[in-house]
């Protein structure tokens, strides 16, 4: 996570409150579920060639 991310993109909890080792290891295999900037639940689509996650406030992330 970068310093501009306030929320964990997997569990939605504050990114700086505690370490998130389970979230970090899960994120190697899964797309993000929460927007790291505003904590909104994102619309996630998993495709055979990758994934996309869309926050209504901050736009799309692809992986």
Give the whole-angstrom CA distance, residue 61 versus residue 54.
6
Give the whole-angstrom CA distance, residue 37 versus residue 34.
9
The pLDDT assigned to 16 comes to 83
Both tokens assigned to 37: 């900037």
Give the whole-angstrom CA distance, residue 63 versus residue 6.
20
**Model pLDDT for residues 4-39, shown as the tens digit of each residue:** 678 989 888 898 877 888 888 888 889 999 999 999
Both tokens assigned to 50: 């990758």
CB–CB of 33/41 below 8 Å?
A: yes
Give the whole-angstrom CA distance, residue 11 versus residue 39.
9
**Model pLDDT for residues 45-61, shown as the tens digit of each residue:** 999 999 999 999 999 99
The pLDDT assigned to 3 comes to 47
């Amino acid at each position: 996570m970068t310093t501009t991310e306030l929320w964990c993109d997997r569990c939605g909890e504050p990114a700086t409150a505690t370490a998130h080792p389970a979230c970090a290891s899960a994120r190697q295999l899964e797309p993000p579920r929460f927007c790291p900037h505003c904590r909104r639940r994102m619309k996630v689509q998993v495709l055979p060639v990758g994934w996309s996650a869309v926050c209504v406030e901050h736009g799309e992330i692809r992986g």
